[in-house]
Amino acid sequence: MAATTANAPASFAERLSGWLGRLTGKAGEVLPVRVGGTEYRQSTTTPASVLGFDQALLWVVVALLAWGLVMVYSASIAMPDNPRFANYAPTHFLTRHMMYLVVGFVAALLAFQVPMKLWERAAPWLFVAALLLLVAVLIPGVGKVVNGARRWLSIGPVGFQPSEVAKFAVLIYAADYMVRKMEVKERFFRAVLPMGAAVAIVGVLLLAEPDMGAFMVVAVIAMGILFLGGVNARMFFLIAGVLVAAFALMIASSPWRRERVFAYLDPFSEQHALGKGYQLSHSLIAIGRGEIFGVGLGGSVEKLHWLPEAHTDFLLAVIGEEFGLMGVLALIVLFLWMTRRIMHIGRQAIALDRVFAGLVAQGVAIWLGFQAFINMGVNLGALPTKGLTLPLMSFGGSAILMNLVAIAVVLRVDYENKHMMRGGRV
């Protein structure tokens, strides 16, 4: 939307500024709005970038999507040489990823049209729908089993992961819950315990698949929104301690999870190099080969059937091999900038007394930032293997779809923020 011209009718903020100016003897000055350390002035010279949505955030997201598309093609182009994928064309994963991006963009455009008030009203129903999908995937004959895990629902020729919907649904529900419980947020049993029970139900269903990585993301999203919503610090650290103890118990009670931790501690040992440490050891080899500037786009050797899941969970390893340390650092900077920008939009919404919208935006920042941190940590050998994709970049239809819907909701929050700062209503 273009800036208003001198002949256009004055906005409410401009008229109020004029009245205040005549009263104070400072006519001509405009009324500033200071949010999160940034000052926005309602004037006739306000740039279009302030009046619309955050275009810089949109372009960073587009850059990550484009880079991801190129890397998915680079990481998967040689897969037909493997007998397991002999019937696939070299462009099989590229064309499917492009299809997912198109569907994701359409879903994002539709999500952007939905006002935040409607998301708030729909939050409980969205949460119930996510629970039903998580139950459906566990039903024999309905859920699709891949590599021993029942995580997918078949929708025609493609598979869909309900866990990705669960992340978004828990985010929306937690934000709505904190707004409804704002008056009793200091009381554990009335404020925190019901939300903890809801997350526990989601966790049980995710662990039954099993998908501990998705459960970790869901738990961190809920915890982050509780903290940002103003839950008492003592209660927050109590819940955090319970969650850490629960995850430690799950690892200790599961032989294959314990094996993953041991493999992470020593991936090159004779015991683990060809077992649970195989992916991690080859990821580290790939990143080591890249050195400072990489071997060049398409020059990766590890993607040639050495590194499993190179186009999904271990896409960063291929980026590190082909673009080197500089490429990995550039990617980290892009994710850090995006996360900080989304958090700023959330703080701005809360400063405008739009608590639900602000918590949703900050929840998206926690989701994308935490999942990117885990994926990068796994690829770099700093964390045990978890099976989480790199947001906006790794191959995967349901993940791309929900990531783009989440970004669209953030842009909607920013759009409504700017609309309010022009004197409008949302």
Question: Where are the chain's structural domains?
Answer: 1-51, 55-420
The pLDDT of residue 184? 57
The mean per-residue pLDDT over the stretch 178-194 comes to: 72
- What is d(CA 197, CA 192) in angstroms, rounded to the nearest whole number? 9
**C-alpha separations of 10 from 16, 24, 248, 379, 390 in Å:** 10, 20, 60, 55, 46
User: For tokens 């906006």, what's the residue?
Assistant: 392
User: For tokens 């880079």, what's the residue?
Assistant: 67
Residue 224 tokens read as 């982050």
* 272 against 305, higher pLDDT: 305
The mean per-residue pLDDT over the stretch 162-191 comes to: 83
The mean per-residue pLDDT over the stretch 360-387 comes to: 92
Band the pLDDT of 103: cuts 50, 70, 90: very high
Residue 18 has pLDDT above 50, yes or no: no
Band the pLDDT of 189: cuts 50, 70, 90: low
Residue 40 has pLDDT above 70, yes or no: no
- What is d(CA 171, CA 165) in angstroms, rounded to the nearest whole number? 10
Residue 9 tokens read as 């009718």
Reported as a single tens digit per residue, the pLDDT across 318-353 is 999 999 999 999 999 999 999 999 999 999 999 999
The pLDDT of residue 285? 92
- What is d(CA 225, CA 3) in angstroms, rounded to the nearest whole number? 35
Using CB atoms within 10 A of its CB, is residue 318 exposed (0-12), middle (13-18) or buried (19+)?
A: buried
| Total-model pTM | 0.84
The pLDDT of residue 9? 44
Reported as a single tens digit per residue, the pLDDT across 144-168 is 877 767 888 877 767 788 999 999 9
Q: What percent of the chain has pLDDT over 90?
A: 49
SS (H, E, C) 222-266: HHHHHHHCCCCHHHHHHHHHHHHHHHHHHHHCCHHHHHHHHHHHC
Residue 203 has pLDDT above 80, yes or no: yes
Of 75-89, 178-192, 391-405, give the lowest mean pLDDT range: 178-192
Residue 13 has pLDDT above 80, yes or no: no
The pLDDT of residue 251? 80
Reported as a single tens digit per residue, the pLDDT across 235-261 is 778 778 888 888 888 887 777 777 778
SS (H, E, C) 165-213: HHHHHHHHHHHHHHHHCHHHCCCHHHHHHHHHHHHHHHHHHHHCCCCHH
Residue 37 has pLDDT above 60, yes or no: no
Reported as a single tens digit per residue, the pLDDT across 118-128 is 999 999 999 99
- What is d(CA 303, CA 322) in angstroms, rounded to the nearest whole number? 10
Band the pLDDT of 19: cuts 50, 70, 90: very low
Reported as a single tens digit per residue, the pLDDT across 57-101 is 999 999 999 999 999 999 999 888 877 777 888 899 999 999 999
Residue 34 has pLDDT above 60, yes or no: no
The pLDDT of residue 183? 67
Q: Is the dihedral of CA 269, 274, 279, 281 positive or negative?
A: positive
